[in-house]
Amino acid sequence: MRLPAVAVSLVVFLMASVGSGCGGTVLDDAKTEAQIEQNLEQAAGKKVRAVECPSGVEIEAGETFDCAVTLAGGEEETATIKILDEDANTELADLKPAK
């Protein structure tokens, strides 16, 4: 299921970056997960049970990564997050049922 354009535009958010990975700054996965949960509930009206994102994602503009989203009813979806810039601004690029 793709999010309508209006919902996607509402879920642009800033994620704090901390630490360093293999030569670069990485996103805080716990804060990323919390932001995704909050934005999906507010902008898309989805009740979220859990979000799991990979740790150690380096901040590189234009790159994307996937997070596993479990909804309150047990449905599983994949949220694709796009890193917009070196300041760690990101957006939810896609949301679809998990494979």
pLDDT in tens, 32-87: 999 999 999 998 899 999 999 999 999 999 999 999 999 999 999 999 999 999 98
Nearest to 52 by CA among 31, 73, 33: 33
User: Average of pLDDT values for 86-90?
Assistant: 89
CA distance 74 to 93: 22
Q: What is the DSSP letter of 58?
A: B
- pTM of the predicted model, to two decimals? 0.79
Backbone angles phi, psi at 6, to 5 degrees: -60, -45
Q: Which residues pair with 91 in a beta bridge?
A: 82
